[in-house]
Chains A and B, each alone.
Chain A
Amino acid sequence: SQTIHQWPATLVQPVGSPLSLECTVEGTSNPNLYWYRQAAGRGLQLLFYSVGIGQISSEVPQNLSASRPQDRQFILSSKKLLLSDSGFYLCAWTGTYEQYFGPGTRLTVT
């Protein structure tokens, strides 16, 4: 069966510091992968999606970037965090039509 992992689970970072969040998927090959952000009490905002290694599409202009160095690995990064980057970051992969989400990373920028 397929499993999706994210780490870290929680993170507290100061403004201006770098960020690296990792997502890995097991049990499937060549998945479509997605990064979402969810602010407190808000809906899901699609940040990036990838249909293959090195293929990244950005939906929202911001100070975040994404990379897909391996088929089942998706990384979200920032060089300098902003207060507004705080939120719940979710990685997901797509089955036939539905999406399966990881456990998420709670990021607090102080």
Chain B
Amino acid sequence: SQKIEQNSEALNIQEGKTATLTCNYTNYSPAYLQWYRQDPGRGPVFLLLIRENEKEKRKERLKVTFDTTLKQSLFHITASQPADSATYLCALYNNAGNMLTFGGGTRLMVKP
């Protein structure tokens, strides 16, 4: 069956450090992968999309890598700030391309 796995344990880091979150998937052949941010009591907000032919994508302090051989994406936040504290979700379309499935998310806590 298709699975998207993210570390369910919270990631605690110190302000200024780089946060790295992992998304692993099985039985998908995604053309692209997406990352979202979700704050408590709010809906997820789209951050980045990376295509299968892109190894890396950057947006301000965010960097995403996509390794279709390892079936893994890494999400980095450099120079992290307490305001970056949130749950981060990765998402993939199913192989039919009509439904977006989300991982369980990883909660990031950045301490000042």
A residues in contact (CB < 8 Å) with B: 34, 42-44, 46, 49, 51, 59, 88, 90, 92, 94, 97-104, 106
B residues in contact (CB < 8 Å) with A: 32, 34, 41-46, 49, 89, 91, 93, 98-105
List 22 contacting pairs A-B, 8 Å CB cutoff, sorted by A.
A34-B100, A42-B104, A43-B102, A44-B44, A44-B89, A46-B99, A46-B100, A49-B98, A49-B99, A59-B99, A88-B41, A94-B100, A97-B49, A98-B49, A99-B46, A100-B46, A101-B44, A101-B45, A102-B43, A103-B43, A104-B42, A104-B43
Please give, as numbers and ranges, the residues of chain B lying within 8 Å of A104 by CB-CB distance. Answer: 41-43
**Complex Cα distance A97/B45, Å?**
13
Among B34, B41, B101, B105, contact of A97 (Cβ-Cβ < 8 Å) = B34
**Complex Cα distance A97/B77, Å?**
23
* CB of A55, distance to nearest CB on chain B (Å): 12
**Complex Cα distance A102/B41, Å?**
11
The 10 closest A-B pairs by CB, nearest first: A101-B43, A43-B104, A98-B46, A44-B102, A90-B43, A104-B43, A101-B44, A43-B102, A99-B100, A97-B49
Q: Is the CB of A43 within 8 A of B103?
A: yes
**Complex Cα distance A103/B91, Å?**
19
User: Which chain B residue has the least Cβ–Cβ distance from A51?
Assistant: B98
Please give, as numbers and ranges, the residues of chain A lying within 8 Å of B105 by CB-CB distance. Answer: 43
**Complex Cα distance A42/B45, Å?**
17
User: Which chain B residue has the least Cβ–Cβ distance from A92?
Assistant: B43
* CB of A10, distance to nearest CB on chain B (Å): 10
**New contact pairs (4) apart from A46-B99, A98-B46, A104-B41, CB-CB < 8 Å:** A43-B105, A44-B89, A46-B101, A102-B43
User: Which chain A residue has the least Cβ–Cβ distance from B31?
Assistant: A97
* CB of B42, distance to nearest CB on chain A (Å): 7
Please give, as numbers and ranges, the residues of chain A lying within 8 Å of B44 by CB-CB distance. Answer: 44, 90, 99, 101
User: Which chain B residue has the least Cβ–Cβ distance from A6?
Assistant: B43
* CB of B27, distance to nearest CB on chain A (Å): 17
Please give, as numbers and ranges, the residues of chain A lying within 8 Å of B100 by CB-CB distance. Answer: 34, 46, 94, 99
